[in-house]
Amino acid sequence: AEIHYHDFVIQATPVKRLCKIHNTITVNGQFPGPTLQVNNGDALVINVVNRAQYNVTIHWHGIKQIRTAWADGPEFVTQCPIRPGGSYTYRFTIQGQEGTLWWHAHSSWLRATVYGALIIYPKEGEFYPFSKPKRETPILLGEWWDANPIDVVRQATRTGAAPKVSDAYTINGQPGDLYRCSSKDTTVVIVDSGETNLLRVINAALNQALFFAVANHKLTVVAADASYVQPFTTSVLMLGPGQTTDVLIDGNQPPGRYYIAVRAYASAQGPFDNTTSTAILEYKNTPCSVQGIKINPIFPSLPAFNDTATATTFSTSFRSPRQVDVPTEIDENLLFTVGLGLNNCPRGSSSRSCQGPNGTRFTASMNNMSFVLPPNFSILQAHHQGIPEVFSTDFPAVPPAKFDYTGNVSRSLWQPVRGTKVYKLKYGARVQVVLQGTSIVTGEDHPIHLHGYDFYIIAEGFGNFNPQTDTAKFNLVDPPIRNTASVPVNGWSVIRFVANNPGVWLMHCHLDVHITWGLAMSFLVENGVSELDSLEEPPLDLPVC
């Protein structure tokens, strides 16, 4: 196994998009940031130097961080932020994972531009469970704002309004030729006739689930969130923010240029960015024109923005390639609601009188708790050093009241309570969480991400989860293994995992606007009995608040 050393310098960099130059926060001046390529079993040592004017942390999305929660990254959860002028070295080892993951800033909305791919190849001498493709291409889907994304969220928390939607989607940082001034800012993906390309698709967008399709080409899904799946073929992908999907694409069409297109799967009522991003799939040696006539690429058909049926067909197609070790017995049976809320702010009032986590009018919660980050410590640090009053351990196992999650709900449940509460798990506990979407304000497909773990998604459905009848739908044989579950709009997902990684682990909606509003909680997983089942000591350069 190797050790990979990297320097990540966080800095403002001029980036031209949609006709204008923006002072954009980047890593090493690159947007998107550098692609990290490692093998399963390797170690990473990444020295993050903050030369920007904002606090920053970096999260390695999907890396289990076994015993190394100090390197996980969410600000005020596992570390204090790296202040401007400061630095911190993240050290961790890849243990038993391969496939496509990514890294991103985990502070305010910085991840809008601070993100990149993290690709884990099998160990030397080990192979993919499919024949090795001739090429591999990371495809990072993103969202671009004409304004500084930090200003967008600050403005929203100041006024209590919902933040502005993005101005463009991007593919590898480029919006593509359907946007103004962007005909040159179009990503080209190469394929050879008769050969296969492995596309490692990552949804790095802040706030939008996305559909993805390639004109005239079928996609064979082989992995998601760095776990292999039983291959299946589809013409469209749906990825919630945070999710990754690896697909094989065969160069089996007449040589030419074909559009790759991305646009919103918008399951909520309310405004969304209704634009379309494009890249080009180009066969090697395709001439730009034939007899002087420029050939325009063919456009794929994409589902309508509200096509939940297509999104559901796709997300329920995933199976693990073999029988997996899903716990059949459970020690913790949890029911968490996920959804929005609305505060009763007097009209025209300053946001100070609103009760959202950042003085917002909109809120979001799990089990009616809006998650607030502690201001002066990280939860992990407070736990490790026994600092009192930073957090409490009374996060509720079930919602505070019984209600119809899909129907009208009493006004008292529209206003969640703020708090910094964790749910404590004994080392090795077998945990089931029913994630139940609510329809307060609006239902929405919530991409729920758990730090520090992969989990099994054993079932999902619409309406209210029924513990009497829906258990019949549980797949305890070959459920998919993921780190981010798309909880269907006005529906539910059931996940299971074994709490065998000590630390404090954030679970949250990966729509950043929902984190801003408090749609998060944390698990505190206690140490096991042996040293090897316990959290390591904190690194000496861990930032202090």
Tell whether residue 496 is a contact of ligand C2O (CB under 6 A): no
Select the span of 173-181, 191-199, 494-502, 503-511 touching ligand C2O (CB under 6 A).
Answer: 503-511
Q: Measured from the CB of residue 239, what is the shortest distance to ligand C2O in angstroms?
A: 13
Q: Measured from the CB of residue 115, what is the shortest distance to ligand C2O in angstroms?
A: 9
Tell whether residue 59 is a contact of ligand C2O (CB under 6 A): yes
Among 104, 361, 482, 514, binds ligand C2O (CB under 6 A): 104
Q: Measured from the CB of residue 369, what is the shortest distance to ligand C2O in angstroms?
A: 17
Among 17, 61, 64, 217, binds ligand C2O (CB under 6 A): 61
Q: Measured from the CB of residue 451, what is the shortest distance to ligand C2O in angstroms?
A: 6
Tell whether residue 383 is a contact of ligand C2O (CB under 6 A): no
Q: Measured from the CB of residue 133, what is the shortest distance to ligand C2O in angstroms?
A: 26
d(CA 482, CA 460): 14
Select the span of 280-288, 409-417, 491-499, 502-510 touching ligand C2O (CB under 6 A).
Answer: 502-510
State the greatest distance between any 2 C-alpha atoms of the chain, in Å, as a whole number: 76
Select the span of 153-161, 349-357, 454-462, 504-512 touching ligand C2O (CB under 6 A).
Answer: 504-512
Q: Are 365 and 390 in contact (CB under 8 A)?
A: no
Tell whether residue 297 is a contact of ligand C2O (CB under 6 A): no
Name the nearest CA neighbour of 513 among 372, 369, 375, 363: 363
Residue nearest to ligand C2O (CB): 61
Q: How many residues does the chain have?
A: 545
DSSP codes, 173-206: TB--TTSTT-TT--EEEEE-TT-EEEEEEEE--S
Q: Are 216 and 196 in contact (CB under 8 A)?
A: no
3-state secondary structure of 150: helix
Tell whether residue 514 is a contact of ligand C2O (CB under 6 A): no
Tell whether residue 449 is a contact of ligand C2O (CB under 6 A): yes
Tell whether residue 106 is a contact of ligand C2O (CB under 6 A): yes
Among 74, 240, 399, 437, binds ligand C2O (CB under 6 A): 74
Q: Which is nearer to ligand C2O, 149 or 251 (CB)?
A: 149
Q: 174-182, long-range: CB within 8 Å, 24+ apart, which pairs? A: 174/279, 175/17, 175/18, 175/144, 175/277, 176/276, 176/277, 176/278, 176/279, 177/278, 178/275, 178/276, 178/277, 178/278, 179/18, 179/275, 179/277, 180/18, 180/19, 181/18, 181/19, 182/17, 182/18
d(CA 194, CA 183): 29
Q: Are 383 and 357 in contact (CB under 8 A)?
A: no
Tell whether residue 67 is a contact of ligand C2O (CB under 6 A): no
Question: Applying CB under 6 A, what is the total number of residues that bind ligand C2O?
Answer: 11
Binding site for ligand C2O (CB under 6 A): 59, 61, 74, 104, 106, 242, 449, 451, 506, 508, 510
